[in-house]
Amino acid sequence: MEILMGFPKNHTRSFSRTDRFKVLGNAFQVDTVGYHLSVLKNLFPAGINVLSLFSGIGGAEVALHRLGIPLKNVVSVELSETSRTIVQSWWEQTNQQGNLIHIADVQEVTVQKLAQWVDSFGGFDLVVGGSPCNNLAGRNYVSRDGLEGKHSSLFYEYFRILDVVKFLMRPVITYGTI
Residues marked as catalytic: 133
Give the H or E element holding residue 37: helix 30-37
> What are all long-range contacts of 115-121, with beta carbons under 8 Å and residues at least 24 apart?
115/168, 117/51, 117/73, 117/75, 118/165, 118/168, 118/169, 120/73, 121/49, 121/72, 121/73
Alpha carbon of residue 74 to chain centroid: 8
Residue 10 DSSP class: T
* Length, in residues, of the chain: 178
- 85's torsion region: left (phi>0), alpha (psi -120 to 50) or beta? alpha
